[in-house]
Amino acid sequence: MKLRIAVSLLLSAATVLPADLPVKQVVLYKHGVGFFERSGKLGAGESARLDFNAQEMNDVLKSLTIGGGKITGLRYDSMDPLGRKLAEFPFQIGGGGMPGMLDQLKGARIELKLGTEAVTGIIVSARTIVGSDKQAERDQLNLLLDTGEFRTVDLAAATGLRFPDAKLQQQFKDYLAALSASRSKDKRSVYIDSSDAKERDVTASYMIPLPVWKSSYRLIFVDKAPMLEGWAIVDNTTGEDWTKVQLSLVSGRPISFISQLYAPKYVNRPSAELADDPAAQAVVHSGAFEEKDKTAEVGAGGFNRLGQSARMQRPMAAPAPMMKTIDGNLAMDSISVAPSSIEAAAVGRELGDLFEYRITQPVTIHKNESAMLPFLQQTIEGRKLLIYSDHSSQHPTNAAELTNSSGKTLDGGPITVYDAGAYAGEALMETLKAGDKRLISYALDLGTRITEAFGSKAAMVREIHASRGVVNTKYAAEETRTYTVRNVDRKAKTLIVEHPLRPGFTLLSQKAAEKTATNYRFELALAAGATQEFVVNEERVWDQAVGVTNLTPDILASYLQNRSLTAAGRQHLQRIVDQKRQIAENDRALQDADAQTRGLNLDEERVRRNIQSLNNVAGQQQQVQTYARQLDTQEQQLATLRDKQAELQKKRSVLQAALDQLVEALTF
């Protein structure tokens, strides 16, 4: 009987334990998250517990879904921000050391052991005394003893310290526990509560951060089409075994982010207060100086205070591949690499805009272990060729043109190439959709050398147009790049030249086989042991606008020689040239008149100085009269020059007005 009672008690105790929901399915993505599906039986009124790391809780709360049975709700271990927790305590442990902490507890009772003496009192203050160069710092505590005496205690001499207040002692324990919990990496639990009257199958699905799965390939050239093997590298860092789980690998990068849902969020609220009613002030009445009383009242005043709070908003918040080129012509005859004897147990299917590889057999990966799983092994369309893309090197690279005829999306990753049963090099490939094509380079081809030569022609005027005095000219300049290719090997080759695509330039003679965002691709057939040239002609066309008013007659005359100019345009432009030349001649005549005027003015100034000096000398009257007649002649010449200047200025205004009309009417 006692044994049965013990067994029944054991069974009843077992029923209160949380139900176990083992992992059944795992889906790994390329953007740092993994999808998990757990399922199991949940008894009547039973709860299931799911354990997570603290850093996983934000994604769990964002993505968790529950299926099967009546679920009353979910419970989970909450987390308050550390700063908010510590702010609730009447003290803070940190800067200032022990004196800084004790000084915050003014009025608290404290017991100290000073050797054999026990001292009990109330904390008045605590401080650190900074010593001189020869004395160290000292921590002191000022106490009010029960006898009423104030006493200063050297904390360095104390061998023990305690607070008689049990509540204060517990606050210290809680403070330190909060600090410890903030550093803890223990699990956080989510509880699923059921209200069903009978046992049910329950499924829980969620997303958590996980390492991305990686892919690597082996490209094996055999007699026929090349064979491509794909391997997936999966890391289990969850701290839990994946035992016979259904594993899927998804290629693609959905948008994903971290939203702070786990930590409680507090909002700063603005302060709002009614205006204070000012207290009435006393009224002082003055004494009477006359029969009629005169009183002076002092009016009461007040002011309002307006508080303003601001809310801070925190905005929400992504390597270049390296290519190893190794000469694959040094393979030994004894080395032979064949396709792996594996079975690619993966089924591929489109998953919306993504692509999924579903491993057909259940997978077991123990915690803190990784696995390599084959997901592809089939022949694809491809051919070997050479690519010249690095223009700083004289050698092209051995390459392959691969067309994804597998019917699946090939996730991006490194490719190890084997040719003729030997290692040939390595390459990198971006994600390749079904039916798409890529070029991969895996080694330098030392049997082919390429040099480049550049040439250019002077810019030519392609078109000339004018409108309202502005001449628009279209120029064209031609540039050539000549590729000289020498094939020293005794076998024919196919070469793809990647010619840089430059903004503003267009091809003239050659037609590219392909065009990428940065290059034209030209395909050349190289004969064995031959040298050939390949010329690429390009043209750059640009426009230039200039006002006719700003051009000299000689520059305008150069436009008249251009064959692109129409007869009407040439005639109109010739009239403008003639008009500008007339203005230039008039300006030269005006400049000559100005120069003559300045010369006469200087000569007159000299004559006047001579007359002034001779007036003070006896017997020089005849010379003074001669200078006077000369001065009169110069004045007549100046008058004539001033009239000529005025006439030239008037003529220039007429010529400029006519030119402005011609320029305004210039259209061709």
Dihedral angle, C-alpha 495, 496, 497, 498, nearest 10 °: -160
| First vs last C-alpha separation in the chain | 120
Q: What is the DSSP string of 433-488?
A: -TT-EEEEEEEE-TTEEEEEEEEE---EEEEEEEETTEEEEEEEEEEEEEEEEEE-
Contact 497, 483 (CB under 8 A): yes
CATH number at residue 146: 2.30.30
Longest dimension (CA), the chain: 170
Domain boundary among 411, 446, 481: 446
- φ/ψ bin of 425: left (φ > 0), alpha (ψ from -120 to 50), beta (otherwise): left
Question: Are residues 480 and 617 located together in one domain of the fold?
Answer: no
pLDDT tens-digit readout, 190-243: 888 877 777 888 899 999 999 999 999 999 997 778 999 999 999 999 888 999
**Residues sharing a CB contact under 8 Å with residue 517, sequence separation 6 or more, in sequence order:** 501
Residue 229 lies in a domain: yes
Strands (E), 312-380: 346-351, 354-359, 363-365, 369-379
**Residues sharing a CB contact under 8 Å with residue 54, sequence separation 6 or more, in sequence order:** 79, 184, 185, 186, 188, 262
Domain span at residue 431 reads 214-254+323-446
Does pLDDT of 55 surpass 70? Answer: yes
Question: Are residues 343 and 222 located together in one domain of the fold?
Answer: yes
Question: Are residues 483 and 537 located together in one domain of the fold?
Answer: yes
**Sheet order of strands, 397-403 included:** 437-444, 397-403, 381-388, 493-500, 519-526, 514-515
What pLDDT does 352 receive? 59
Instruction: Choose among 567, 568, 606, 590: nearest CA to 655.
Output: 590
Pairing of strands 150-154, 160-162: unpaired
Q: Which residues pair with 67 in a beta bridge?
A: 203
With b meaning 16 or more CB within 10 Å and e meaning fewer, what string describes 101-138?
bbbbbeeebbebeeeeeeeebebeebbbeeeeeeeeee
Residue 405 lies in a domain: yes
For residue 51, the surrounding DSSP H or E stretch is: strand 47-53
Instruction: In whole angstroms, give the CA distance from residue 416 to residue 219.
Output: 6
What token pair was written down for 476? 């064209």
Instruction: In whole angstroms, give the CA distance from residue 470 to residue 666.
Output: 8
Domain boundary among 509, 527, 548: 548
For residue 599, the surrounding DSSP H or E stretch is: helix 567-614
Pairing of strands 493-500, 519-526: antiparallel
Instruction: Choose among 429, 23, 394, 31: nearest CA to 203.
Output: 23
With b meaning 16 or more CB within 10 Å and e meaning fewer, what string describes 492-529?
ebebbbbbebeeeeebeeeebeeeeeebbbbebebeee
With b meaning 16 or more CB within 10 Å and e meaning fewer, what string describes 350-368?
ebeeebbbbbeeebebeee
Residue 16 lies in a domain: no
> Is the pTM here over 0.95, yes or no?
no
What token pair was written down for 295? 């009183």
How many structural domains compose the chain? 4
**Sheet order of strands, 150-154 included:** 150-154, 138-145, 117-129, 109-114, 160-162
Long-range contacts of 642-648 (CB under 8 A, 24+ apart): 642/597, 644/593, 645/590, 645/593, 645/594, 645/597, 648/586, 648/589, 648/590, 648/593
pLDDT tens-digit readout, 543-577: 888 888 888 888 888 778 777 788 888 888 888 88
Instruction: Choose among 468, 10, 27: nearest CA to 242.
Output: 27
Question: Are residues 220 and 330 located together in one domain of the fold?
Answer: yes
Question: Are residues 336 and 411 located together in one domain of the fold?
Answer: yes
Does pLDDT of 3 surpass 50? Answer: no
Question: Are residues 372 and 237 located together in one domain of the fold?
Answer: yes
Question: Are residues 440 and 461 located together in one domain of the fold?
Answer: no
Question: Are residues 219 and 351 located together in one domain of the fold?
Answer: yes
Domain boundary among 446, 474, 490: 446
Residue 64 lies in a domain: no
Dihedral angle, C-alpha 67, 71, 73, 74, nearest 10 °: -50
Residue 475 lies in a domain: yes
pLDDT band at 176 (very low <50, low <70, confident <90, very high): confident
Instruction: Choose among 368, 66, 378: nearest CA to 222.
Output: 378
Q: Is 262 helix (H, G, I), strand (E, B) or coil?
A: coil
pLDDT tens-digit readout, 431-480: 888 899 999 999 999 999 999 999 998 888 888 888 888 888 888 999 99
Strands (E), 182-329: 187-194, 200-209, 214-221, 227-236, 242-251
**Residues sharing a CB contact under 8 Å with residue 489, sequence separation 6 or more, in sequence order:** 447, 448, 528, 529
Question: Are residues 408 and 327 located together in one domain of the fold?
Answer: yes
pLDDT tens-digit readout, 275-322: 776 766 665 545 444 444 444 444 444 444 433 433 334 343 333 333
Question: Are residues 379 and 243 located together in one domain of the fold?
Answer: yes
Q: Is 96 helix (H, G, I), strand (E, B) or coil?
A: coil
pLDDT band at 628 (very low <50, low <70, confident <90, very high): confident
Residue 460 lies in a domain: yes
Question: Are residues 660 and 563 located together in one domain of the fold?
Answer: yes
Instruction: In whole angstroms, give the CA distance from residue 226 to residue 379.
Output: 6
pLDDT tens-digit readout, 514-530: 999 999 999 999 999 99
pLDDT band at 262 (very low <50, low <70, confident <90, very high): confident
Residue 656 lies in a domain: yes
Residue 306 lies in a domain: no
Question: Are residues 647 and 519 located together in one domain of the fold?
Answer: no
Q: Which residues pair with 347 in a beta bridge?
A: 358
Instruction: In whole angstroms, give the CA distance from residue 19 to residue 45.
Output: 11
What pLDDT does 264 receive? 74
